[in-house]
Amino acid sequence: MRRQVVIDTETTGLEPAEGHRVVEIGCVELIERRLERHYQVHLNPDRLVSERSLEVHGLDDNFLAEQPRFADIRSDFLAFIADAELIAHNAPFDIGFLNAELERVGDSQRLADYTSGVIDTLALARRLHPGQRNGLDDLCQRYYINSAARTQHGALLDAQLLAQVYLAMSGGQLRIALNPSAVGAVHSNTVTSGTPVLRATAEEWAEHRQFLAELQRRGDCQWSGEDEDQVADT
């Protein structure tokens, strides 16, 4: 069973070496590429948030002063990510900050000691799309993932969006359901052998053609899609 945790953080600033701290952790758990659970916590950093970071995530000092400290949630957080493969966008940033938090509470181990590895989706995106913008918003647009709710950064929302981006980049799955009630109906027919044949809806084919057109525009498409209707009817 492959267990992965997509993780994101929000912080008081850009450099843990300058004393900046984590103020939010957001995680979503993927088991065999299916979302199972999420984890979110806001943290009291015992310091002021920089103006630049406040503009990014909107978590102000008064709100954060009422939140638990990292030491209070350390055990629950480590239990959630234990033995999982972590997935993060610009992973050295998030991992560096979380390692610094572990060090502050006297933990001699690092995140790598609690997990089975790290996938950096920024590095993956740069390999797949060299010379292009590969921020999270750019990737959501490229893979037709709705990020309209991302008016400000938020660790849990960003982790949820990143999970969809990762699935699209690594295996072509463009959407994941965030809860069982969000799962749409599967349209299928059966042939005489009883083997199910999954058919795309008209809306899904239209979205697929739009995706291919964008790939063709960029010169990335290896298949024109001219035989789509034939494929759909087989």
pLDDT in tens, 174-204: 444 444 333 332 222 222 333 333 455 666 6
Q: What is the pLDDT of residue 210?
A: 67
Count CA within 13 A, CB hemisphere, residue 116: 11
Using the predicted structure, report yes or no on whether residue 213 has a pLDDT greater than 90: no
Domain ranges for the chain, please list them.
Answer: 3-181, 188-232
Rg (CA), the chain: 20
For 3-181, the fitting CATH number among 1.20.1510.10, 3.30.420.10, 3.30.420.40, 3.40.50.150 is 3.30.420.10
pLDDT in tens, 70-116: 999 999 999 999 999 999 999 999 999 999 999 999 999 999 999 99
Q: What is the pLDDT of residue 206?
A: 65
Query: Encoding tokens for residue 63?
Result: 């709100």
Could you confirm whether 57 is annotated as catalytic?
no
Closest among 78, 132, 133 to 101, alpha carbons compared = 78
Percent of the chain whose predicted confidence (pLDDT) is above 90: 69
Q: What is the pLDDT of residue 184?
A: 30
Q: What is the pLDDT of residue 9?
A: 98
Which of 20, 57, 89, 153 is catalytic? The answer is 153
Cα 123 to Cα 118, 128, 129: the distances in Å are 11, 9, 10
For the chain, the average pLDDT equals 83
If one compares 125 and 148, the residue with the highest pLDDT of the two is 125
Closest among 25, 45, 43, 47 to 94, alpha carbons compared = 25
Burial class (CB in 10 A: 0-12, 13-18, 19+), 115: buried
Percent of the chain whose predicted confidence (pLDDT) is above 70: 73
